[in-house]
Chains A and B, each alone.
Chain A
Amino acid sequence: MSSTTFVAKKLSHLLAVVLLVSLGVTALLSQGGTVAAQILGPNANAGQIAELERQLGLDRPFAERYLSWLADAVRGDLGESLLTHVPVTEVIANGFAVTFELMVLGLGIALLVAVPLAAYTARNVGGKIDTIATGVSSLFMSLPSFVLAIGLLYVFAVRLGMLPVSGWVPLTEDPVGNLRSAILPSLVLALHPMATFFRVLRSDMITTLQQDFVLTARAKGLNTAYILLRHALRPSLTTLVSLAGLSIGSLMTGAVISEVIFRLPGMGSAIVNAVTQRDVPIVQGLVLLVALTYVVVNTLVDILQAVIDPRVQTS
C-alpha cells in the first residue's frame, strides 16, 4: 500500500467515525419533546411546549435538523445553549483547560509510574516488588474512580487537611496553587490507566525477554540495563501505545467523575449539567469534541506504531 492511499484510507475512516458518532448522539438526544418541557418547567401545557419547540426549530424533521447542525459545525459554529444562550464553542473553551490539564497529568503520572515499574518487574518476576506491584495493580483495576476520588478526598483533604477539598486555581494565576488543586483529581484519572499500562507492559516485556534476540544480546555479554533499554523495551511498547490511545475514553470518564466530586469547572461537569438539563447543543458539541480527540489521538498512535516498529510500515 502506498502512503497516500494509506493516509486517504485513514482519513475516510476517521471522517466516517466522527459523522456516525455525531449522528448517533443527535438521534439519541432528540427522543420526544423533553427539551422544551424541561425549559418551561412542569406547569407548561402542550401548546406552550409546541410553541417553544417551533422557536427552537425542534419541530423540523430529524434529518433536516442534523444536516443543518452539521453544516454549521463544519463552519465552526456549534450553536448555542438552549438555556443560557452561551455559544457552545465558548462553553467548550471555558472547560477545556481544566479537563485537558487533568487528562495530560493523569496520563503522564500513569506512564511515569507504570513503565519503569513494568520494566523492572518483568526482569524480576516473582520477586517481592513484582508480587506487591502485581497485587496492587489488580486492586487499582477494581477501584471505581468515584470511590477512589472520595477516598482521596477523605484522607488528604478531610483528615490530613493537606490539599484543598475542591475548587480550581488556573495555571496562569498561581502555578503552585494550580498543582495543589489538580493533583488529587488527576490521580483519580491516573490510577486505572496506570494499573492497565503496568500489567500490559509487564506481560509484553516478559514475552519479549524470552525472545531469541534477547538471548542473542545476552550471549553478546551486554549488561542487563542496556539490554532492557535498547533491546527489550521498544519491541514491547506496541500494545501499550495502542492502549494509551484507547485510554482517552477511560480518562474522559475519570475526568467527569473527578470534576463532579472535586467541583472543578471542566468539560466533564459541563457535560453532566447539560445532560441533566437536556441542553442538546452542548452535549452534541462536547461529544463531537471527544470523538474527534479520540480519532485524532488514535491516528497519531498508528503513526507512532510505525516509528516504534519499522516492520509496521511495510505490512
Chain B
Amino acid sequence: MTHDEAKSLLRIRDLSVRIPTARGAIWPLDGVDLDLGAGETLGLVGESGSGKSMLVRSIMGVTPAASTLSGELTFDSVDLAGGRTEQARGVWGKRVAMVFQDSMTSLNPVVRIGRQVSEGARRHLGLTAAQARERTLDLLDLVGIPDPRARLAQYPHQLSGGMRQRVAIAMALACDPDLLIADEATTALDVTIQRQILDLLQEIQATRRMAMIIVSHDLGVVASRTDRIAVMYGGRIAEESATGTLFAEARHRYTRALLGALPTLDMPRHSVLPTVPGSAPDPVGRPRACRFAPRCPAAVDRCRTERPRLLSQGDSGHRFACFVPVEPDAAPASAHAAAVAAPPAATAAAGQPPRLEVRDLVCRYRVPGGTIHAVSGISFAMPPGETLGVVGESGCGKSSAAKAIVRLQQAASGSVLLDGTDLLTLSPREMRRRRTRIQIVLQDPIASLNPRKTVRGCVAEGLLIQGVRGAELAAKVDDALRGVGVDPDIHGGKKAYQLSGGQAQRVAIARAMALDPDVLVCDEPVSALDVSVQAQVLNLLERLKAERGLTMLFVSHDLSVVRNISDRVAVMYLGTIVELGDADQVYSAPAHPYTRALIGAVPVPDPTRDHASTPRLEGQLPSPLSPPSGCRFRTRCPIARQECADNEPPLVEVAPGRLAACHFPLTGSAEPTAPSPRARVRQ
C-alpha cells in the first residue's frame, strides 16, 4: 500500500451493516475495508444500492435505527462504530463533517440559517453567541454567499439550490473538520451550479489541507478532483486505486462496464453503448459469491461459490476483488463504446414536410407571487425520422414544452402541428383519437405506472381507451412488451413496484409504443436510472426508432446522453431556445455563450482533462417570475453589452442549418472580443 497504515486518519476493517426486513436481513455494507490518510481526497463511486451512502453514514453515525454495525471503524483511533459515545460525539460534526445530497431536505426548514451554521461550533468549540455569529459570517463569506449578514435571519427556502448547498458546506466547515464528506452533494444541482460547488469544495480542501470523500454515482464528478477512487458494488468495494490508474487500467469487470456504459461527449453519435445485462443485485442476504457474478460476462464457477477478497497488486495500491480480472494491458474501458458501430440512423429526408412542427409555443402558470413564464415562444420543425434533443438546466422550460406538446399541460398560445394538424385546437374527443400518433415517456418509470395495475394492465390501458378489446388486445399488449424486451409471461402479472427501474421504464415505453405512434416525446427518460441500466434504455430507444421510423423529441438535462441520441439539438435557457443545430456542430463549436458554458461544465470522466481551463459560469439562474429584459442570459453572460439588455436577440441562422439567439454569436474558434468594462451589463 502506498499510504502508511499508521498514518491513516480513517481506518475501516470488515465493516458490515445489517438491517432486518420482512424479506430477510439486508446487508447494505458487507465487509468493507478502507483507509484514508490526512489531506487525501477519495472518490466513492457506485450505482444506487451499492452501499456508498451507507458507508459514509456509518462514518457519521447516522445509520438507520434498526441497523446493526459490525467490524472496525475508527477515526484517529476513536471508535465510531460503538454508538453515540461521548468520544464519538466529539468527532462527529467537529473533526468529521458531512454535506448531504439535497439541501432542501438536509437543512431544517424552520430554523434560521444563522443558527444552523453556528450551532455545531457552539456545541463543540464552546463559543459565545457573539463569537459564533462572527464565525458564521466568516464561513458564509468563505463559501461565497453574498451579503452574509442578511442571510443569518433567513430560512433555507428563501435561498436558491446552489446557495443552500453553500450554506450546507459552511455548516460542515463550522468546526474546521479534518475530514469532509460530500454525499452526492452536487447531484441535485444543475451542471453549471454543480461546477461552482465542486470548484468551491476543491478550493477549500486545498487551502485547509483536510481530507475529503466525494461520494457520487457520476464518474465524471470524481475524475479530476480526487487522489484515489473506490468503486462499490452490492455493499462491497469492487476496486480501489489511484484515480489515474482506475480510468486507464481498471481490472474489475464492473468498473470497466461502468466506464463503458457512459456516453461521453467525444464518442461518435448514435453509438450503441455496451451494457451490463440485468440490474442491481438483491440486497437480501450476503452470498458467498461475487456480487457481480450474475451480470458478469467472464464469471466462472468459482465466482459463484467463493467470495473474492479485495487484494492489492504488488504495492501499487491498486486493489480489486475479482477472480477473473481484465488483463492490465487491455484497451482502456472508455474506448470500448466507440468501437461498436452505430445502427443506420434513419436520416431525415430533406424537403419533406415536417412531421412535427412547433410554432411560438408559450406556457405560463400562476404561482403565489406572480406568473412563471415557463416557455416563452419556442419554434422548431422536425422532419419524419429525426431525433431532436432538447437540453437545458432546470427551469429552462424543456419539460413544460414537452408536456405542452402532448397536451399534458395547457399552452397559453402557439400551435403544435402534427402532419399539419394543430393539436392544441382539437376537441378532447378528436385529441383522444390523435393520441395514437403522439405519445410520451416520463422521467420516473415506477411512479409513472399505476401501482394497483399489472404490467399487462398498464400497457392495455391506452388500447382499451381506443376501443381495442378481446384477443386483439391481448396480442397487441404481449407484442408491445416483447418489443421492449420484457417477457409478458414472466413479468406481465407483476405490479410496478415489483419491477426494477429499467424494467419499469421498458414497460412505460411499451405502453406508449402499443399505440404505434409516429412521434415519441421522451421527457428525461433515463434520468432516474443507473448508468448501466440507462445504456440499456438508450439502446432500446435507438432500436425502436430505427425499426419503426419514429420521430423523437428527447428532453434531458444530460448533455452527453442528448448528444449521443440526437440528430439535432436545441439548447434552452429560461423558456427560450438559444441555439439549435446539428448535434456534432453545436457541441464542437457552440455559437451561443450559454451553450459553451453548459458544455464546459459537464463533468468529464477523464482524469487527464483539466476542467479549470474552461470558463466557469458564475451566478444563479434568474427568477422565472421576472426574467431579465432583452437577452435572458445577459446577467450571467461573460460578453454581454448594453444592446443585450435593450433588445431580445431573435433566433436566426448564423451558419447553414445553425440557429442562435445572440447579438454576438461565437464564430469558429476565435475568442470573443472582450467587452469594455463600462459597457458590461450587470443585473
- Name A residues whose Cβ lies closer than 8 Å to a Cβ of B: 1, 125, 211-213, 215-224, 226, 230-231, 234-235, 308-311, 314-315
Contacts and interface: CB of A to CB of B under 8 A. Distances in A.
A219 B120 CA distance: 10
A213 B98 contact: no
B372 interface: no
Contacts of B98: 216, 219
A297 to B, nearest CB: 23
Which 6 A/B pairs are nearest by Cβ-Cβ distance?
A: A221-B93, A220-B93, A221-B92, A212-B105, A220-B120, A213-B108
B601 interface: no
A222 B108 contact: no
B109 A311 contact: yes
B155 A311 contact: yes
A220 B120 CA distance: 6
B61 A218 contact: yes
A216 B100 contact: yes
A213 B106 contact: yes
Given A211-B105, A221-B92, A234 B120 contact: no
B20 to A, nearest CB: 13
Given A220-B120, A222-B119, A310 B93 contact: no
Contacts of A219: 60-62, 92-93, 97-98
A197 to B, nearest CB: 20
A303 B94 CA distance: 38
25 contacts: A1-B369, A125-B65, A212-B101, A213-B106, A216-B100, A216-B106, A218-B60, A218-B61, A218-B62, A219-B93, A219-B97, A219-B98, A220-B97, A220-B174, A221-B89, A221-B120, A221-B124, A222-B93, A223-B123, A226-B119, A230-B119, A231-B111, A235-B108, A311-B110, A314-B368
Nearest to A236: B110
A213 B105 contact: yes
Contact of B110 (A215, A222, A309): A309
B52 to A, nearest CB: 16
Contacts of B94: 221
B108 A217 contact: yes
Tell me the interface secondary structure of chain A in the complex. helix
A131 B110 CA distance: 30
B157 interface: yes
A118 B123 CA distance: 26
Contact of B109 (A218, A220, A223, A310): A310
Nearest to A218: B62
A239 to B, nearest CB: 14
Interface string B102-116: 100111111100010
Contacts of B111: 230-231, 234
Contact of B100 (A1, A212, A309): A212
Interface string B76-100: 0000000010000111111001101
Interface string B417-447: 0000000000000000000000000000000
Best-buried of B57, B84, B110, B168 by chain A (most CB within 10 Å): B110
B171 A220 contact: yes
A217 B61 CA distance: 11
Contacts of A221: 89-94, 120, 123-124
A216 B107 contact: yes
Interface of B: 57, 60-62, 65, 84, 89-94, 97-98, 100-102, 105-111, 115, 119-120, 123-124, 155, 157, 168, 171, 174, 368-369
B102 A212 contact: yes
A226 B115 CA distance: 13
A101 to B, nearest CB: 33
Contacts of B171: 216, 220
B17 to A, nearest CB: 15
A1 B368 contact: yes
A310 B100 contact: no
A171 to B, nearest CB: 37
Given A220-B92, A220-B119, A234 B110 contact: yes
Best-buried of A1, A215, A308 by chain B (most CB within 10 Å): A215
A212 B57 CA distance: 11
Contacts of A314: 157, 368-369
A308 B60 CA distance: 30
Contacts of A216: 98, 100, 106-108, 168, 171
A220 B157 contact: no
A213 B107 contact: yes
A123 to B, nearest CB: 10
B98 to A, nearest CB: 5
A105 to B, nearest CB: 30
A167 to B, nearest CB: 46
B121 to A, nearest CB: 9
Given A213-B105, A219-B61, A221-B90, A310 B110 contact: yes
Best-buried of A211, A218, A219, A315 by chain B (most CB within 10 Å): A219
A252 B154 CA distance: 40
Contacts of B168: 216
Nearest to B115: A230
A224 B62 CA distance: 13
A125 B155 CA distance: 30
Given A231-B111, A311-B157, 4 more contacts: A216-B108, A219-B61, A310-B157, A311-B109
Nearest to B99: A216
Contacts of B155: 310-311
Nearest to B157: A311
Contacts of A217: 108
Contacts of A218: 60-62, 92
Contacts of A213: 105-109
B109 A309 contact: yes
A223 B93 CA distance: 11
A308 B110 contact: yes
A189 to B, nearest CB: 31
Contacts of B110: 234-235, 308-311
Nearest to A232: B108
Contact of A223 (B89, B97, B101, B108): B89
Contacts of A308: 110
Contacts of B57: 215
Contacts of B93: 219-222
Contacts of B62: 215, 218-219
B368 to A, nearest CB: 5
Contacts of B115: 230
Contacts of B124: 221
A213 B167 CA distance: 13
Contact of A220 (B84, B101, B105, B123): B123
Given A1-B368, A212-B100, A222-B123, A231 B91 contact: no
A15 to B, nearest CB: 23
A156 B320 CA distance: 74
A211 B84 CA distance: 19
A230 B123 CA distance: 13
A220 B107 CA distance: 12
B160 to A, nearest CB: 14
